[in-house]
C-alpha cells in the first residue's frame, strides 16, 4: 500500500474465529521487520453505523506485545465487520493492516444438543432426535444439513 511506514512492519497472518455462539478470538503475528518495541492495537466495527471500538482483552506474547484479542458477547450483523490493526514504535512508522470479514463465515458451529435415541425392541427401528446447534446470527433451521453415522456393534 502507499501508506507511509516501514516496509514489512504491518502485522501478518491475521485471522479470527467465532465459537460458543458469542466469543471471538483474533490472532496475528508481528511484522517481520517491525522494530522490537512495536506495539499493535486492534480496532473493529461491527457495522458501518457502529462506532469503532478498541479490543478490550489483548492476548500478549512473552515480550508483552499484543498478538491477539478476545471478544465476548459478540453479535453477528449481516454486513461485513471492519478490522484495523495499527502499530506504534519509537523508532519507525508502522504500517497498518485492515480487512473486512463476514463474521458468519468464521463461525465455528456448536454440535447439535439434546440428542435422544429410542429403539424399538421387537422391530429394528430407532427414532433419533436432536436440536440444532445454537448460532449467533440467525434462528433459521433451513441452513443446516445433518448426517448420521450408525455403527452396529
Domain enclosing residue 59, as ranges? 12-105
- Sheet with 39-45: list strands edge to edge: 53-54, 39-45, 81-88, 97-101
With respect to residue 20, please indicate whether it lies within any of the assigned structural domains. yes
* pLDDT on residue 126: 86
Using CB atoms within 10 Å of the CB of residue 85, give its burial: 0 to 12 exposed, 13 to 18 middle, 19+ buried: buried
With respect to residue 4, please indicate whether it lies within any of the assigned structural domains. no
| Rounded Cα distance, 130 and 102, in Å | 28
User: In this structure, are residues 65 and 39 in contact, taking their beta carbons and an 8 Å threshold?
Assistant: yes
- Report DSSP letters for 11-34, one per residue: -EEEEEEEETTTEEEEEEE--TT-
The CATH number that applies at residue 83 is 2.60.40.10
Q: Note down pLDDT in tens along the chain; length 153 residues.
A: 455 788 899 999 999 999 988 899 999 999 999 999 999 999 999 877 778 899 999 999 998 999 999 999 887 777 789 999 999 999 899 999 999 999 888 989 888 889 999 988 877 788 999 998 877 766 666 677 888 888 876
The total of structural domains in the chain comes to 1
With respect to residue 2, please indicate whether it lies within any of the assigned structural domains. no
In this structure, how many other beta carbons lie within 10 angstroms of the beta carbon of residue 67?
18
With respect to residue 132, please indicate whether it lies within any of the assigned structural domains. no
With respect to residue 99, please indicate whether it lies within any of the assigned structural domains. yes
User: In this structure, are residues 125 and 149 in contact, taking their beta carbons and an 8 Å threshold?
Assistant: no
With respect to residue 76, please indicate whether it lies within any of the assigned structural domains. yes
With respect to residue 19, please indicate whether it lies within any of the assigned structural domains. yes
With respect to residue 52, please indicate whether it lies within any of the assigned structural domains. yes
Amino acid at each position: 500500500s502507499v501508506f507511509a511506514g516501514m516496509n514489512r512492519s504491518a502485522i501478518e497472518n491475521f485471522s479470527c474465529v467465532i465459537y460458543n455462539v458469542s466469543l471471538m478470538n483474533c490472532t496475528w503475528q508481528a511484522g517481520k521487520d517491525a522494530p522490537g518495541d512495536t506495539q499493535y492495537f486492534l480496532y473493529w466495527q461491527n457495522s458501518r453505523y457502529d462506532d469503532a471500538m478498541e479490543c478490550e482483552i489483548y492476548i500478549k506474547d512473552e515480550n508483552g506485545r499484543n498478538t491477539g484479542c478476545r471478544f465476548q458477547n459478540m453479535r453477528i450483523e449481516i454486513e461485513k465487520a471492519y478490522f484495523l490493526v495499527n502499530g506504534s514504535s519509537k523508532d519507525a512508522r508502522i504500517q497498518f493492516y485492515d480487512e473486512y470479514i463476514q463474521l458468519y463465515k468464521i463461525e465455528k458451529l456448536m454440535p447439535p444438543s439434546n440428542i435422544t435415541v429410542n429403539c424399538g425392541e421387537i422391530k429394528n427401528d430407532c427414532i433419533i432426535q436432536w436440536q440444532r446447534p445454537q448460532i449467533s446470527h440467525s434462528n433459521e433451521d433451513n441452513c443446516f444439513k445433518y448426517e448420521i453415522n450408525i455403527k452396529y456393534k
